[in-house]
């Protein structure tokens, strides 16, 4: 019996030693052959499998979006995603497949969106995402052209009579975590020397519920989102968005580092919508431009040169598909945020440079 126990002990030690030897062999540092296969496998796979080919094989684009922000990304009562950002997802799908509906919107919280993109669960983030340096570098994102120039604002109850930041001394402010807004708020209030209590929530719904119940005196996020959420409050007229702007918020699409072709594709789909507006081409009249003599228009519509092939799409009329399926920038804007919608958001900075805005797309040449 005793010898049996001893043997068991020997067995255990033996198994440990063997395990360690195997572990040492398998660890990338020790075993040369393993290192080779380990190192070679991953990057090689990345090179052969470009994002575009993955998307094409899958047959649809997976776009990381928002489901809680009317006007930008919102899951409507019929279960469809609608909004400004969603239309840009649709535009990319239209360019690749000629079908704006070859798309799956993957709703994500502010916190998880970058992780989802990094892990390859999605192809592009179009989710009112602010372009910042640390995201561009540390998080390994590449930001496409800004589709919407926004700024962080504050919404308060009208009855409080607040008009500037200084009036908010001692107030409680509801804020959403995992966003640049949390940092801007801290920076701006510190700069103004105003004490406040930050009440941090994980998503829009909770944050605005708490604000509406009076837990907070003010709620802060991008101004466009404030306008959008104001319409969902029980009495929108009781609330006012302050004139003060806390930050610059250039919102646009983001893709992973390391796939330049895919980055170019996303960029040029966005530029195409702006160029289309610049040339007065929209989804209703695009056919009448097919006989145009203007070289700029001919290049945009794929009648001259082979510009779609340069981003890896074989269909020469890829931008035509974008315009017919989704529309030019003005159409996308007006459909989701324009005067006919509840938001009625003035275009302001988001006008073409020719109309006093800062939308300036480089030429297709």
Partner 1 sequence: MQTIHASQVRPPFYRDERVLGVFSQVLVVVIVLGLGLFFFSNMISGLREKHAVAITFSFLGQTAGFDIGESLIEYSRERTYLRAFVVGLLNTFQVAVLGIVFATALGILIGVMRLSTNFLVNRIAAVYIDIFRNIPLLVLLIFWAQGVFLKLPRVADAIVLADSFYLSNRGVAIPWGIPTESWRTYLIVLGAGVIIGAALAYFLREHGKRTGRMPLVTLWFIITVAAVGLIGWIVLPQPLTLDIPSLEGFNTQGGIILSQQFLALLSGLIIYTAAFIAEVVRAGIQSVSKGQREAATALGLTPAQTLRLIIFPQALRVIIPPLTSQYLNLTKNSSLAIAIGYPDLFAVAGNTILNQTGREIEMFTMIMGTYLSLSLLTSILMNVYNRRIRLVER
CB 70 within 8 A of CB 59: no
Cα–Cα distance list, 2 to 8, 14, 15, 306, 319 (Å): 10, 18, 20, 83, 82
Q: Could you tell me the smallest distance in angstroms from the CB atom of residue 18 to partner 1?
A: 6
- 46 lies in the binding site for partner 1 (CB under 8 A): yes
Which residue from 31, 140, 151, 338 is in contact with partner 1, where contact means CB under 8 A? 140
Q: Which stretch binds partner 1 (CB under 8 A): 91-99, 108-116, 278-286, 335-343?
A: 108-116
- 238 lies in the binding site for partner 1 (CB under 8 A): no
- Which is closer to partner 1, CB of 132 or CB of 273? 132
- 14 lies in the binding site for partner 1 (CB under 8 A): yes
- Which is closer to partner 1, CB of 26 or CB of 290? 26
Q: Could you tell me the smallest distance in angstroms from the CB atom of residue 20 to partner 1?
A: 8
DSSP string, 281-301: --TTTGGGGTT---HHHHHHT
- 37 lies in the binding site for partner 1 (CB under 8 A): no
Q: Is 195 left (phi over 0), alpha (psi -120 to 50) or beta?
A: beta
- 40 lies in the binding site for partner 1 (CB under 8 A): no
Which residue from 85, 123, 150, 217 is in contact with partner 1, where contact means CB under 8 A? 217
- Buried-state track 330-355, b at ≥16 Cβ within 10 A, e below 16: bbbbebbbbeebebebebeebbbeee
Q: Could you tell me the smallest distance in angstroms from the CB atom of residue 67 to partner 1?
A: 18
CA distance 150 to 3: 77
Cα–Cα distance list, 313 to 19, 25, 97, 161 (Å): 51, 45, 9, 55
Q: Could you tell me the smallest distance in angstroms from the CB atom of residue 196 to partner 1?
A: 8
- Which is closer to partner 1, CB of 19 or CB of 348? 19
Nearest to 150 by CA among 354, 346, 331: 346
Which residue from 1, 2, 7, 351 is in contact with partner 1, where contact means CB under 8 A? 7
CA distance 143 to 5: 64
Q: Hey, which residues between 149 and 188 contact partner 1 (CB under 8 A)?
A: 160, 168-172, 177-179, 182-183, 185-187
Which residue from 16, 30, 309, 358 is in contact with partner 1, where contact means CB under 8 A? 16
Number of residues that bind partner 1 (CB under 8 A): 60
Strand segments (E) across 112-246: 124-125, 141-143, 148-157, 171-176, 196-201, 218-222, 239-241
Which residue from 56, 99, 107, 118 is in contact with partner 1, where contact means CB under 8 A? 118
- 210 lies in the binding site for partner 1 (CB under 8 A): yes
Cα torsion through 48, 51, 54, 56, rounded to 10: -120
- 11 lies in the binding site for partner 1 (CB under 8 A): yes
Name the strand (E) or helix (H) holding 52. Answer: helix 51-58
- 4 lies in the binding site for partner 1 (CB under 8 A): yes
- 206 lies in the binding site for partner 1 (CB under 8 A): yes
Q: Could you tell me the smallest distance in angstroms from the CB atom of residue 331 to partner 1?
A: 34
Residue 362 is classified by DSSP as P
Nearest to 361 by CA among 299, 309, 316: 299
Where does this chain bind partner 1 (CB under 8 A)?
4, 7-8, 10-12, 14-16, 18-20, 22-23, 26-28, 38, 42-43, 46, 110-111, 114-115, 118, 134, 138-140, 160, 168-172, 177-179, 182-183, 185-187, 189-190, 196-202, 206, 209-210, 213-215, 217
């Amino acid at each position: 019996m005793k010898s049996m126990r001893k043997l068991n002990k020997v067995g255990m030690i033996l198994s440990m030693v063997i395990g360690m030897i195997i572990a040492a062999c398998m660890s990338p540092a020790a075993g040369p052959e393993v290192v080779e296969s380990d190192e070679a496998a991953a990057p090689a796979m990345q090179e052969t499998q470009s994002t575009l080919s993955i998307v094409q094989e899958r047959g649809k684009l997976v776009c990381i979006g928002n489901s809680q922000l009317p006007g930008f990304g919102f899951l409507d009562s019929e279960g469809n995603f609608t909004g400004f950002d969603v239309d840009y997802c649709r535009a990319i799908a239209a360019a690749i497949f000629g079908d704006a509906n070859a798309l799956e919107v993957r709703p994500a919280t502010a916190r998880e969106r970058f992780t989802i993109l990094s892990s390859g669960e999605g192809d592009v983030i179009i989710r009112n995402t602010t372009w910042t340096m640390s995201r561009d570098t540390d998080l390994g994102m590449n930001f496409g052209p800004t589709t919407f120039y926004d700024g962080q604002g504050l919404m308060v109850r009208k009855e409080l009579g607040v008009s500037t930041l200084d009036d908010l001394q001692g107030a409680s402010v509801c804020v959403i975590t995992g966003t640049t807004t949390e940092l801007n708020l801290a920076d701006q209030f510190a700069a103004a020397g105003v004490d406040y209590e930050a009440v941090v929530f994980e998503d829009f719904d909770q944050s605005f519920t708490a604000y509406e119940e009076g837990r907070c005196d003010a709620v802060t996020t991008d101004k466009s989102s404030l306008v959008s959420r104001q319409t969902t409050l029980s009495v929108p007229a009781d609330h006012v968005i302050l004139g003060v702007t806390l930050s610059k918020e250039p919102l646009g699409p983001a893709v992973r580092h390391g796939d330049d072709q895919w980055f170019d594709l996303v960029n040029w789909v966005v530029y195409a919508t702006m160029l289309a507006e610049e040339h007065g081409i929209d989804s209703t009249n695009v056919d009448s431009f097919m006989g145009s003599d203007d070289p700029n228009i001919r290049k945009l519509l794929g009648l001259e040169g082979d510009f779609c092939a340069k981003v890896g799409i074989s269909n020469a009329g890829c931008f035509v598909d974008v315009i017919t399926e989704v529309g030019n920038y003005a159409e996308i804007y007006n459909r989701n945020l324009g005067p006919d919608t509840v938001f009625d958001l003035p275009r302001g900075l988001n006008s073409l440079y020719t109309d006093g805005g800062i939308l300036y797309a480089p030429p297709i040449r």
